[in-house]
Chain A
Amino acid sequence: MSMNREGRSTAPVSTNVTTSPTVSGNKALAQKELLIFEVGTPRRTGVDFSDTPSRPSRLGGLERTSDIGLPGLSEPETLRHYVRLSQKNFAIDLGVYPLGSCTMKHNPRLNEKMARLPGFADVHPLQPQSTVQGALELIDTLADWICKLTGMPAVAMSPKAGAHGELCGMMAIRAALDAKGAAHKRRVLVPESAHGTNPATAVQCGFTVDEIPATDGGRVDMAALRLKLVDSDDIAGIMLTNPNTCGLFETDIIEIAKLIHDAGGYFYCDGANFNALVGKVRPGDLGIDAMHLNLHKTFSTPHGGGGPGSGPTVLSDALLPFAPVPYVVKQGETYRLVEDATGTQSFGRMTAFHGQMGMFVRALSYMMSHGADGLRQATQDAVLNANYVQASLSDVMSVAFSGYCMHEALFDDSFLKDTGVDTLDFAKAMIDEGYHPMTMYFPLVVHGAMLIEPTESESKGELDRFIKVMRSLASRAKNGEVAHFKAAPVHAPLRRLDETRAARKPILRWRPEAE
Chain B
Amino acid sequence: MRYLPLNENDRKAMLAKIGAPDVDALFGDVPKSARLTDLIDLPLRQTESEVDSALTQMAGKNRAAGSGPFFIGGGAYRHHIPASVDHLIQRSEFLTAYTPYQPEISQGTLQVLFEFQTQVAQLTGMDVANASMYDGSTACAEAALMACRATRRKKVHLAAGLHPHYRETTKTQGKFQGIEVRPCRSRPGHDENVMIGMDKDSAAIVVQSPNVFGEIVDLQPYADAAHAVGALLIAVFTEPLAFGAIKSPGEMGADIVVGEGQSIGVGLNFGGPYLGLLACRQKLVRQMPGRVCGQTVDANGERGFVLTLSTREQHIRREKATSNICTNSGLCTVAFSIHMTLLGEAGLRELARINHAKACQLADMLTEIDGVELVTDTFFNEFTLRLSKPARAVTHHMVEKSNVLGGLAASRLMADDNKSQDDLLIVCATETNSEADMTAFEAALKEALS
A63-B247, A197-B314, A307-B327 as given contacts; A89 in contact with B3, CB under 8 Å = no
Cα–Cα distance between A85 and B305 once the two chains are bound (Å): 12
A26 at the interface (CB under 8 A from B): no
Q: A35-B114, A503-B309 are in contact. Are A124 and B329 (CB under 8 A)?
A: no
In the complex, the answer to whether A502 meets B20 with C-beta atoms within 8 Å is: no
A69 touches B298 (CB 8 A): no
Given contacts A119-B61, A133-B61, A431 and B135 within 8 Å (CB-CB): no
B172 within 8 A of A: yes
Please give, as numbers and ranges, the residues of chain A lying within 8 Å of B273 by CB-CB distance.
160, 307-308, 310, 356-359
B331 touches A309 (CB 8 A): no
Verify A124–B268 contact, CB threshold 8 A.
Answer: yes
Cross-chain contact A378 with B1 (CB below 8 angstroms): yes
Which of B30-38, B148-156, B194-202, B436-444 is the contact stretch? B30-38
Contact mask for chain A residues 110-138; partner B; CB cutoff 8 A; 1 contact, 0 none = 10111011111111111110111111011
Tell me, yes or no, whether B377 is within 8 Å of chain A by CB: yes
The answer, among A62, A358, A404, for a CB contact under 8 Å with B247, is: A62
The distance in angstroms between the C-alpha atoms of A83 and B58, with both chains bound, is 34
Chain B residue contacts of A60, Cβ below 8 A = 215-216, 218, 377-378
Is residue B302 contacting chain A, with contact meaning CB distance below 8 A?
Answer: yes
Q: Which residues of A contact B405 (CB under 8 A)?
A: 124, 127-128, 131
Closest to B6 in A: A381
Task: List A residues 325-377 near B (Cβ within 8 Å).
Answer: 339-342, 347-359, 361, 364-365, 367-377
The residues in B between 73 and 111 inclusive whose CB is less than 8 angstroms from any CB of A are: 74-76, 78, 82, 84, 86, 88-100, 102-109, 111
Distance (whole angstroms) from the CB of A267 to the closest CB of chain B: 14
Asked if A365 meets B18 with Cβ closer than 8 Å, knowing A164-B134, A459-B6, the reply is no
Looking at chain A, what size class is its interface with the partner chain?
A: 35 or more
Contacts of A112 in B (CB 8 A): 90, 95
Min CB distance, A480 to chain B, in Å?
22
Please determine whether A387 and B82 come into contact, CB atoms closer than 8 angstroms. Answer: no
* Residue of chain B at shortest CB distance from A249: B29
Does B323 sit at the interface, judged by CB under 8 A?
Answer: yes
- Which residues of the other chain, A, contact B350 by a CB distance below 8 angstroms? 45, 49
**Given A53, A91, A282, A495, which contacts B97 in the complex, CB threshold below 8 Å?**
A91
Those of B364-405 within 8 Å (CB) of chain A: 364, 377-380, 395-396, 399-400, 405
A43 within 8 A of B: yes
Is A70 in contact with B44, judged by CB distance below 8 angstroms?
no
The count of chain B contact residues (Cβ–Cβ below 8 Å) is 210
Known contacts A384-B6, A457-B5, A506-B294; A494 and B302 CB within 8 A of each other: yes
Query: Which residues of B have CB within 8 Å of A119?
Result: 56, 58-62, 64
Determine whether A483 belongs to the interface, using a CB cutoff of 8 Å to chain B. no
Does B65 make an interface contact (CB < 8 A)?
A: yes
Nearest Cβ on chain B to A172's Cβ, whole angstroms: 11
Provide the residues of chain B in CB contact with A364, threshold 8 Å. 55
Q: Which A residues touch B100, using CB under 8 A?
A: 89, 305-306
Given contacts A59-B246, A88-B107, A104-B98, contact A124 B76 (CB under 8 A): yes
- Identify the closest chain B residue to A77 (Cβ): B341
- Distance between B345 CB and nearest chain A CB, rounded to angstroms: 4
In the complex the two chains form, is A253's CB within 8 Å of B115's CB? no
| A489 contacts chain B at the CB level, 8 A cutoff | yes
A181 at the interface (CB under 8 A from B): no
Q: Which residues 311-335 of B sit at the A interface, judged by CB distance below 8 A?
A: 311, 313-321, 323-332, 334
Partner of A352, one of B42, B44, B165, B216: B165
Given contacts A92-B96, A388-B17, contact A163 B314 (CB under 8 A): yes
The verdict on A374 contacting B115 (CB below 8 Å), with A58-B378, A254-B34 known, is no
Q: Are B42 and A148 in contact (CB under 8 A)?
A: yes
**Which of A102, A106, A352 is B166 in contact with, Cβ under 8 Å?**
A352
Cβ contacts A431-473/B at 8 Å (1 or 0 each):
1000011000010000000000000111110100000000000
Residue-wise interface mask of B (273-290) relative to A, using a CB-CB cutoff of 8 A (1 in contact, 0 not): 111000000000100000
> Is B108 a contact of A87 with CB atoms below 8 Å?
yes
CB pair B332–A87 under 8 Å, yes or no, is no
B380 to chain A, nearest CB (A): 7
Beyond the given pairs A306-B99, A404-B25, 5 more chain A to chain B contacts, judged by CB atoms under 8 angstroms and listed by A's residue number, are A54-B357, A69-B122, A126-B413, A130-B399, A508-B114
4 closest pairs, A vs B, by CB? Answer: A72-B344, A119-B59, A353-B271, A134-B61
18 residue pairs A–B, Cβ–Cβ below 8 Å:
A36-B115, A45-B343, A58-B363, A75-B84, A86-B93, A92-B97, A97-B98, A110-B51, A118-B67, A123-B269, A131-B63, A149-B40, A305-B331, A367-B42, A370-B45, A374-B1, A404-B18, A509-B129
